[in-house]
Each structure stands twice: as structure tokens, then as C-alpha cells.
Amino acid sequence: MTSSIAFVGAGPTTIYTLHALLEQTALPFSLTIFEEQPTAGRGTPYRPGWNDPAMLSNIASIEIPPLEETLIDWLNAQPASRLVALGIDPGEIGERTFYPRLALGEFFHDQFEALLDRARAQGVTVNLRTRCRVVDAVSEADAMVLTVRSRSGELTKARFDHVVLATGHQWPEDPEVRPGYYLSPWPATALAAIPPSNIGIRGTSLSAIDAAVALAVTHGEFVEDDEGGLSYAAAPGTELFRMTMMSRKGLLPEADFFAPLPYEPLAICTPEAMEALIAADGLLLEPAFALFRQELIAADPDYATATGIAELELEDFCERYFADRAEADPFDWAAANLAEAERNYEDEHTVPWRYAILRMHEVLALIVPHLDAEEYRRFAKHFKPVFVDDYATVPHESIQRMLALHAADKLDVMAIGDDYRIDSHRPEGGAVVTVAGERHEFPVFIEATGQRPLQAKAFPFPSLLEQGIVRDAQPGAAPSASRGIAIDDQFHPISEAIPEDQLFCLSLPFLLGRHPFIQGITSSHEMGLVVAEQLAAAIERDFTDAPQDDAPAVAA
Ligand SMILES: Cc1cc2nc3c(=O)[nH]c(=O)nc-3n(C[C@H](O)[C@H](O)[C@H](O)COP(=O)(O)OP(=O)(O)OC[C@H]3O[C@@H](n4cnc5c(N)ncnc54)[C@H](O)[C@@H]3O)c2cc1C
């Protein structure tokens, strides 16, 4: 028989999975894709409305895994007018350039369409169902049954042999959950309605920069001078517009730094070394940190001496890593760091310690599913922030914008430490942040700390919870220490109650506890490779198990 396969969600994760699947099987199958948006293929962070055209992606072209073509090839094939409309200077296309997120959305959309054409040519029956939200899923012995709400509001059921959930980020539809209090900075259109006022933003990294940029372009504009310098011009009547970004340490992210790609191999803290630790079946965090430390010392002896890492415990290293920055004014640090990053790009110079940590984040991620509860707590609180800081650097233009807003007296950064309180339940709206007894009032307050790992109870398909197929990986963990849902290395929910390969869960917030660094286009690609291999094998099995008369012809 030919397999029937459904994807729920049409964002980058589905696109990369489908791409890998078409590479791996020439057999026909029936493909259905459900997407609740009117158009498919842009995912959440790359579609208009959700994002402001000014928002930049934080991944350079060279890092985006190719689909039917590379991003650079696609950009070079576009008419200049389309590029200009997307905020891209046709003369500035380069493999290390960062583009507006909406431009990536157009790329993914076009790639998705091309993939569907390839699938049809390969004999796959394609059924793309936009404006259709899957609201539930039930596992039966011979099929996964999805309940689908169509554009008219009608509920129907559809049966599939294999289902991939790739529903992506999960935020409230309307972020203003109480007057003046926003639970997320998206959709950007919601922020556009905020009047010029004193705005608090919890977070100082990528999501907070998104919020600040969306508000800044609502109440003024960034102006580039002839030398490439950037300033911010506030619109008339916006004197009350001011933003304060806040986080425990009050640090801005650093500027994207030059690094050789693809990654050069590590010498000591290697995937093989991690696999050996896992196989030894003992505690993992300390020996893994010891390997991390040795690699860093070997990679950058000067950095090792300056930080004294040879003598430091894990917690102390984390403190030391951030210490100089935490002492400095965040905007002075940002200006100096940007100048250094620009110089290093110019000279193609790699800072060895930065590059070593960058490469090690994916290696250390291997042990995370195997950490016990206390090790996981230590990893999440002390070790993970170092890696996130190192890989979640931002485009140089984002730093220039933060500096321009600060110079225009529109942006500040506040360190609130661990001992602060935020009261967002006030009759007058917004929030009050109390730090060391001092009250800071914000008539508008935006939570912008990014996607948190979610527990099973937030899973959007209730029957899978009732069937016990989706459950917490670590029942009873506090929401702040959630390890997401129980899944195996092939992204199957771990459960006896479901046939093999019937369901794959690639819905990011539920995976973050197991795979803490999985947010990003490269992760969509890697997860897609894993699931496509399983799907291709299942298609083959379904096909060869079918009585010969039923088996359709294979496309040439
Ligand atoms: C604001 C933001 C900016 C980011 N920027 C970058 C970046 O610059 N670079 C980078 O590498 N990564 C970035 N990321 C990380 C991001 O996770 C990935 O790049 C990518 O979007 C993940 O793709 P996805 O398909 O898993 O999820 P999504 O892109 O969220 O797509 C999921 C899709 O599923 C649909 N959907 C959800 N539920 C249902 C349902 N029940 N029924 C039908 N359809 C449904 C949604 O409408 C959506 O189209 C960013 C993330 C955020 C939140």
C-alpha cells in the first residue's frame, strides 16, 4: 500500500524534513500538509504581520542549509525590485550577510513550492491544506486520526499512517494579556499600537532586540549617514517614548564574530568523548566540563590564563565568563565589542576561545538527555548561558541600532539581579519592577525572553495526553526546570500505546528540555534528516508489505 503522511505546520522544520524525505525515497506516497495560516512555507518567525520588516534574521546565508537551491542562489535570481521591497540592497548580497527575516520567509516559501512540484513529479499525491488548524490527534491501531478545523470552522477527521507534528513556537494569539502587559513581543503588529510611553522590556537578547526595533520604527526611524554610521531620529510628538531592557546581569548580546565554516574539528571535547562518557553510565556533567576546560585551554592559552579556567569549577567559570562584561557599561562594551568584531571580519581573524565554545555547544548537547535532575539544574543555570551567549550573537546592524537608540536617549539596560519582583496585575495596567526596594513603573511592559521549554500540559493535542502517549520527561519538575516531553532520539513519543513510526514530534517548545540548543534553522535541518530517514523506511515497509496488485507504479 502507499503510505499516507501528514505534516502539521508548514514552517522550516517541515520544509527540511520533506526535502530530506524526497532525497531518500523515490516511492510514491500521499502527502498532506496542514497549515493554519493562509499561505504555507514561511513558518512563524519569517512571515509578515508577525514580524516587522525591520527585524533581522540572526543567521548568515552561509549557515542556512540549502533546499532546492541555496539562499545566495535564490537571492541572485530575484529581480532587483523584489529585493529592494524586502529591504535588501541588490549590490550587497554576500554569504556572510544577514537579511531581514521576511526575506527568509520568501525564500522558504519559494523553496516549499518548488519542493511540492518535485514531489508531484516524483509521483507523490500532494494535498496542501492552508487555513486549516489541527486541533487534536488520536492514535488508533492502524492510523493516526487528526481533527481539523477548516477555514469555515467546520471540524473534520482525517486518517494517516504517519504524522509529523512541526507546530513550532507557541505564544498567545493576542500578546496583550492584561492592559499594557504583553506576554510576548509578537505579533509585531500588536506592538505597533503601543503609544509613545515609558516601556519596560524583560530580556536583553534577541527577542528583546526584536521588541525594541519594532517599537523604534513605529516612533521614528534609523538613519544611515554617508560613512555607514547609524543614528535614530525620533518622530515628532514621541518625547515620551523610552525603553528599558532588563535582565539578571543586564548584558547585551555580543556581535556576530568571524568563524571558519563548516566547523573545524575539536581535539579533546569531541562527540566521541561525549559518547564514551554516556556509555560509562556515571555522572556526566563534571567529566564533560573537564573536557570543555581542557579544550578551551588548548585552543586559547591566553584566554585560559586570563580567566584562570584551569582552577575554576563549573559555576565559577560561568561567573568569570560574564564578569568583565557585567562590570562594564553595557553600551560601552557593545561599542568596543562591535569594533572588535568588525575588525576581525575585515582581517578574517578568529578569536580561538569564542570559536572553541561555539563548536562545543553541539557536543555538550549530546549529554543533556542523560543528565540526572541535579546535573540538569546545574547545566541549565550555569553552563547553558555560556553557550547561548556565544552562539546567539547578533548581526552587527542590531548592535548599531541598540547604540543609536541609546545615543538618542531612547534605550537603557538595567541589571535586576536574582532578587526582583514584577507586578503586572495593577488596575492602571503595565507593570512595576521592584529591585532592591526601588520601584520602576512602566505603563507598558513586554515579556521578551524568548521561547521557554514547555511541559506536556501545554501540548496542543489533548487526546495524545489522555492516551498517555505524550507525557512529561521528568514528571513533577518545576516549570522553570521543565525537560519537555518524553521522546526518543528519533523524535517518537516514548510510549507503548502507539505503533512504531506513527507519530514524530518536532514541536520545538516541547523538545527544548532535551535539546536545549535546538532553536534555529540548522536544527530544523538536522531534525528533518533524522525523521526523514524513519519516514523513508516506513514508506518502503508499507510499500513492500502491500499485496502486489495494490502497489502503484514507482515514478521513473
Ligand atoms: C522571533 C523568532 C526569530 C527567530 N529567528 C531566527 C533566525 O533568525 N535564525 C534562526 O536560525 N532561527 C531563528 N528562530 C528559530 C526558529 O525556531 C526556527 O528558525 C524555525 O522557525 C523553526 O521552524 P518550525 O517549522 O519548527 O516552526 P515555525 O517556524 O514556528 O512554524 C510552525 C508552523 O506551524 C503552523 N502551525 C502551528 N500549529 C498548527 C496547527 N495546530 N495546525 C496547523 N498549523 C499549525 C504555524 O502557523 C507555523 O507556520 C527564530 C525564532 C523566533 C521565535
Q: Can you give the pLDDT at residue 171?
A: 85
Q: Are 80 and 24 in contact (CB under 8 A)?
A: no
- 499-525 burial: b if 16+ Cβ within 10 Å, else e: eebbbbbbbbbbbbbbbbbbbbbbbbb
Segment holding 267, helix H or strand E: none
Spatial contact of 402 and 252, defined as CB atoms under 8 Å apart: yes
pLDDT-based confidence at residue 360 (cuts at 50, 70, 90): very high
pLDDT band for position 173 (cuts 50, 70, 90): confident
Given a cut of 60, whether residue 433 has pLDDT beyond it is: yes
- Taking residues 7-21, what's their average pLDDT? 98
pLDDT, residue 555, reads 41
Nearest to 145 by CA among 156, 129, 153: 156
- Which numbered atom of ligand 1 lies nearest the CA of 11? 25
How many angstroms does the Cα of residue 527 sit away from the middle of ligand 1? 14
Return the pLDDT at 554: 43
Contact 501, 538 (CB under 8 A): yes
Side chain identity at 103, as an amino acid letter?
A: A
Identify the pLDDT of residue 553: 45
Q: What is the mean pLDDT of residues 404-427?
A: 96
User: What's the CA-to-centroid distance between 108 and ligand 1, angstroms?
Assistant: 11
Q: C-alpha grid cell for residue 517?
A: 540548543
Q: How much is the pLDDT for 551?
A: 46
Give the type of residue at 490: Q
| Mean pLDDT, range 175-203, rounded to an integer | 95
CA 248 – ligand 1 centroid, Å: 27
Q: What is the pLDDT of residue 191?
A: 94
Strands in 287-401 per DSSP E:
none
**CA Rg, the chain, in Å?**
24
How do residues 505-524 score in pLDDT, each as one tens digit? 999 999 999 999 998 999 99
Q: Which residue's alpha carbon is nearest to atom 11 within ligand 1?
A: 520
Separation of 5 CA from ligand 1 center, angstroms?
Answer: 21
Instruction: Let me know: does 260 contact 349? Beta carbons within 8 Å.
Output: no
Query: Could you tell me which residues come within 8 angstroms of residue 531 by beta carbon, excluding any fewer than 6 positions away?
Result: 17, 20, 164, 490, 491, 504, 506
Average pLDDT score over the chain: 95
Distance from residue 103's CA to the centre of ligand 1 (Å): 15
Mean pLDDT on 147-169: 96
pLDDT at 148 over 90: yes
* 444-447 and 181-182 beta bridge pairing: parallel
Q: Report the pLDDT value the prediction gives residue 429, as an integer from 0 to 100.
A: 95
CA of 512 to the centre of ligand 1 (A): 14
Task: Name the residue with the closest Cα to ligand 1, atom 35.
Answer: 9
Coarse DSSP helix, strand, coil percentages of the chain, rounded to the nearest 5 percent: 40, 20, 40
For residue 60, pLDDT over 80 is answered with yes
Residues near ligand 1 (Cβ within 6 A):
8-14, 34-37, 43-45, 57-59, 101, 133-134, 166-169, 210, 451, 460, 508, 519-521, 524
Q: What is the pLDDT of residue 548?
A: 54
More confident residue, 550 or 460: 460
Which residue, judged by its Cα, is nearest atom 25 of ligand 1?
A: 11
Q: Which atom of ligand 1 is nearest to the CA of 132?
A: 43
Residue nearest to atom 13 of ligand 1 (CA): 520
Q: pTM above 0.85? A: yes
The values of phi and psi at residue 33, to 5°, are -125, 125
Task: Ligand 1 pocket test: pick from 16, 37, 39, 44 the residue with the most ligand atoms within 8 Å of its Cβ.
Answer: 44
Please report which helix (H) or strand (E) contains residue 529, including its range: helix 521-545
Region label for 11, one of left (φ > 0), alpha (ψ between -120 and 50) or beta (otherwise): beta
Q: Please check the confidence at residue 213 and state whether its pLDDT lies above 50.
A: yes
What's the mean pLDDT in 74-93? Answer: 95
Q: How many Å lie between the centroid of ligand 1 and the Cα of residue 213?
A: 20
pLDDT of 29 above 60? yes
Q: In Å, what is the CA distance from 35 to each residue of 38, 128, 151, 257, 469?
A: 8, 8, 11, 36, 23
- DSSP-derived secondary structure letter, 131: T
Q: What pLDDT score was predicted for residue 222? A: 98
